Amino acid sequence: MMQSRRSYIAVGQAVLAAALFGMNAPFSKLLLIELPPRFLSALLYLGAGIGMLIVDGIRKLSKLDSVEARLTKQELPFVVLMVLLDVAAPISLMVGLTKTNAANAALLNNFEIVATSIIALVIFKEAIGKRLWLSIMLITISSILLTVSDISSLDFSAGSLFVLLACVFWGLENNCTRKLSIKDPLQVVIIKGVGSGLCALVIAAAYKEVTPNITYIILALLLGFFAYGMSIFFYVTAQRDLGAARTSAYYAIAPFIGVGISYIAFAEPITIFFTAALVIMIAGTYFAVAENHLHKHYHQSMEHEHRHNHSDGHHNHIHEPLFTGEHSHAHIHEEIVHTHEHKPDLHHIHEH
């Protein structure tokens, strides 16, 4: 019961993350009127990092104690890799866009969902069942329909390889972020935003794309806070209970949010492709939600630190004096074998 409730909350967080990120494309389209693309990319990341720094500062000034575990040196390799991949992916995409058309790039961008799932399965041993594979396939088809407007404009070239490489980078980055989801998501977003934003700003400066338009800079930072900062926060939190592949599948609804906003803001028509894609997306989401993963499994002994409580059946250690509610500290899990429905969260990375 507790596990199912947590899963449904995580699904809600993943959908909210997608909804927030869905704001990015239509509003960025407006900002690109005055801001160069590389500079805008830097501002969006910096808006996420700075915004979350302010939130963290308010939390500390209000003396609201966080029960989240802080990042340690043990997570440093994943932190560094996350930031580097967040820089490498957009660069690969930009190179690809110079060698292929926009329609082709938009279509190939949907490979990120597949890349995230394959990397999660092969490298990080995340369990992916038949229903989830079907869900991923339907969501990919849906995304392709959403991005195809003219079949004759599509081709495969060297530029396509760079776009696919960008998707692989983002797929690996999604899995690195999943490894950090055990820790304070606010801290993860701050590092991700500030680190990636500063690197992107250096690149924008190298291309002489930095402009002094204060009004648009402020608007871009605000958009970055909501579309990147808050979105990544809920995305990382959802990954704790859903894993990388499932969270990526739910996150795929973001383009539909973007199209909906574009329809309202720019009076763009809803096409038959959009309607068909929406129906397929709903079917794909159903299979992701309806997945029932239940079997006898083994938990090896391990020690780690993260936010937890003692009502989930996996945290049975004793406190002196007795402590209830959510808290964070280093704790040891004893070996245990049991059966219950579960997702590939941090306590259920096992062989099948």
pLDDT tens digits, 56-75: 888 888 766 667 778 888 88
Residue-averaged pLDDT of the chain = 78
pLDDT tens digits, 222-237: 999 999 999 999 988 8
Instruction: Give yes or no for residue 191 having a pLDDT over 70.
Output: yes
Highest mean pLDDT of the ranges 21-35, 44-58, 118-132:
44-58
Can you tell me the mean pLDDT for 340-344? 56
Q: pTM (2 decimals)? A: 0.75
pLDDT at 62: 79
Can you tell me the mean pLDDT for 295-312? 61
Percentage, residues of the chain above pLDDT 70:
70
pLDDT at 140: 81
Identify the band that residue 307 occupies on the pLDDT scale cut at 50, 70 and 90. Answer: low
> Where exactly are the structural domains of the chain?
2-295
pLDDT at 161: 84
Range with the poorest average pLDDT among 169-183, 207-221, 244-258, 324-338: 324-338
Instruction: Give yes or no for residue 350 having a pLDDT over 60.
Output: no
Residue 223 φ/ψ, nearest 5 degrees: -60, -40
pLDDT tens digits, 142-162: 777 766 655 565 556 677 788
Cβ of 81: how many Cβ atoms within 10 Å? 17
229 vs 296: which has the higher pLDDT:
229
Highest mean pLDDT of the ranges 43-52, 111-120, 132-141, 257-266:
43-52
Rounded to whole angstroms, how far apart are CA atoms 84 and 93? 14
pLDDT at 69: 76
Identify the band that residue 304 occupies on the pLDDT scale cut at 50, 70 and 90. Answer: low
CA angle, 145 then 86 then 196, to 5° = 135
pLDDT at 222: 97
Instruction: Give yes or no for residue 274 having a pLDDT over 80.
Output: no
Percentage, residues of the chain above pLDDT 90:
20
124 vs 330: which has the higher pLDDT:
124
Identify the band that residue 47 occupies on the pLDDT scale cut at 50, 70 and 90. Answer: very high
pLDDT at 195: 93
pLDDT at 150: 56
pLDDT at 65: 62
60 vs 110: which has the higher pLDDT:
60
Q: Is the preceding peptide bond at 321 cis, omega within 30 degrees of 0?
A: yes
Instruction: Give yes or no for residue 100 having a pLDDT over 80.
Output: no
Instruction: Give yes or no for residue 165 having a pLDDT over 80.
Output: yes
The CA dihedral of 112, 216, 210, 262, to the nearest 10 degrees, is: 30
pLDDT at 239: 86
pLDDT at 247: 84
